[in-house]
Structure 1
Amino acid sequence: MQEPQLSDQGVFETALDALMALDPRLVPLVEVAGRPALRRRPPGFAGLAAVVVAQQLSVASARAIHGRVEALLGGAPTVERLLAATPEALRGAGLSAPKIRTLTGIARALADGVVDLDAVARLPADEAADILTRLPGVGLWTADIYLLFCLGRGDAFPQGDLALQVAMGEAFELPGRCTPQGLLAIAEDWRPLRGVAAHLLWAYYGARRARQGAPA
């Protein structure tokens, strides 16, 4: 089986069926969470900027700040618009000082040709992630999320994601939160559909917390 390109919900639904056939242990997660919606963001700097904004924030907070950043810049973030904005204005939109440094550092690196995001999109996932981590402030989590959400890579898998670790621990009845290494080891059985499994685990995490009355 080849890694699917998660271009739309229909492709995702087919991949989800293939995943559950590959590992029937995941069927109960769908019974709890339902069939998750595909998460997509635009490729390029706009999508990468959205991923950076969302780091360590709730979905609601990230969406609110990103909306204010777009309002400030007059549209979706571009390298030129971001570099033209002052740190004070970006801070007023709700960005923290570290995220401002990361976004401006990425924008400058892209402007200088340190990384070509169009070229990255054509590379194998592991090589693409390695190149993305050359950008300022971009670690493996950010790289994997970009590959999954912005490029639709069906096997991208952010093992460092806390919600995935918690969801795996609960779904597989482990003693506690799954370690990143353990998460990666279990997910090996799901290649080349690990990104589809990540969507399901995120949905399961949210459904569990909604049932418990806690924010997802």
Structure 2
Amino acid sequence: MTHFLHTDADMMAALDRLAETDPRLTAVRQVAGTFSLRRREGGFAGLCSIVCGQQLSTASAAAIRNRLFAAFDPFHHDAVRTARSDKLKRLGLSAPKIKSIKAIGKALSEGQIDLDAVGAMDADLAHEKLVALHGVGPWTADIYLLFCLGHSDAWPAGDLALQEAARIAFNLRKRPNVKQFIKLAEPWRPWRGAMAHLLWAYYHVVKRRDGAPEAAASAAAKKKVKRKPAKRAAPKRTAVKSRTTKSRQKAKRNGR
């Protein structure tokens, strides 16, 4: 059965169920505190919004997204897919992102994917359908499932913040890689999405309190005093007598 997280109450109920199966979550929830469920618009607009934000800061992504939505009113996949690439480029979209949103628009127009139908699928099948689209990788697919559809079991295993949050929260020796993180999350089905929201909230608290691990490491590196390399002592010179000099001294001792 597919579950969804549409309200804060849905989120709290899902976390309660998770805590029943994993007692470690009690401490994690105490640190994370109360947080609200974050949701975004779904459909083509929601997917394009996530594509716009790939590998960009929040501010830059928001600026491009706002320009994109303002340029097409109503925002429809047919209008975007048939738009001139130079127009999209002027909005701040890179060539790969233009190619991606046009390909998604074409897939929707030709019926290759139905985003409404994807919303009713279980997490793994929905993920599979989304990553079949050009420009939609595993992270983009799972972010869409979590924030646009409210899927309770989407699991963005490649998200670095989630990996780091799990490392700290569960006292792991090192940050888990994608394969390890997928395996780690298996016991949390069908509420892995709720766990993702919890770990993000936990990470933001720890980041504010202690500083992000990467930032802390960077700051520590900057504080290191660069010591000038010690001057190497000049090698002691040893007087070396030539063979001629030694021969003369020997001859003098022999009375020659």
TM-score by length of 2: 0.75
Correspondence for 2:165: 167
Structure with the larger RCO, 1 or 2 (CA within 8 Å, 6+ apart)? 1
Q: Residue 18 and residue 57 in structure 1: after superposition, are their counterparts in 2 closer, same or farther (change >3 A)?
A: farther
1:115 maps to which of 113, 116, 125: 113
Give me the whole-angstrom Cα distance separating, in 2, the residues matched to 1:87 and 1:207: 41
Q: Residue 212 and residue 148 in structure 1: after superposition, are their counterparts in 2 closer, same or farther (change >3 A)?
A: same
Cα displacement (A) at 1:84: 4.3
Q: C-alpha offsets along residues 53-92 of structure 1, whole Å, 9 cap, x if unaligned?
A: 22223333323322222222235x4202322433223223
Q: Residue 110 and residue 3 in structure 1: after superposition, are their counterparts in 2 closer, same or farther (change >3 A)?
A: closer
For the pair shown, which has the larger CA radius of gyration, 1 or 2?
2
Q: Residue 32 and residue 101 in structure 1: after superposition, are their counterparts in 2 closer, same or farther (change >3 A)?
A: same
Give me the whole-angstrom Cα distance separating, in 1, the residues matched to 2:36 and 2:56: 20
Give me the whole-angstrom Cα distance separating, in 2, the residues matched to 1:42 and 1:166: 28
Structure 1 stretches (4+) deviating beyond 3 angstroms?
58-61, 212-215
Give me the whole-angstrom Cα distance separating, in 1, the residues matched to 2:123 and 2:42: 15
1:137 partner SS: coil
- Stretches of structure 1 that go unaligned for 5 or more consecutive residues are none
Contact 1:73 1:85 in 2 (8 A): no
2:86 maps to which of 85, 88, 95: 88
- Stretches of structure 2 that go unaligned for 5 or more consecutive residues are 216-256
Q: Residue 36 and residue 182 in structure 1: after superposition, are their counterparts in 2 closer, same or farther (change >3 A)?
A: farther
2:24 partner SS: helix
Over the aligned positions, Cα root-mean-square deviation in angstroms equals 2.0
Is 2:205 the counterpart of 1:207?
Answer: yes
TM-score by length of 1: 0.88
Q: Residue 112 and residue 60 in structure 1: after superposition, are their counterparts in 2 closer, same or farther (change >3 A)?
A: same
Correspondence for 1:38: 37
Q: How many residues align?
A: 213
Correspondence for 1:59: 58
Cα displacement (A) at 1:199: 0.5
Correspondence for 2:175: 177
Contact 1:163 1:202 in 2 (8 A): yes
Correspondence for 1:135: 133
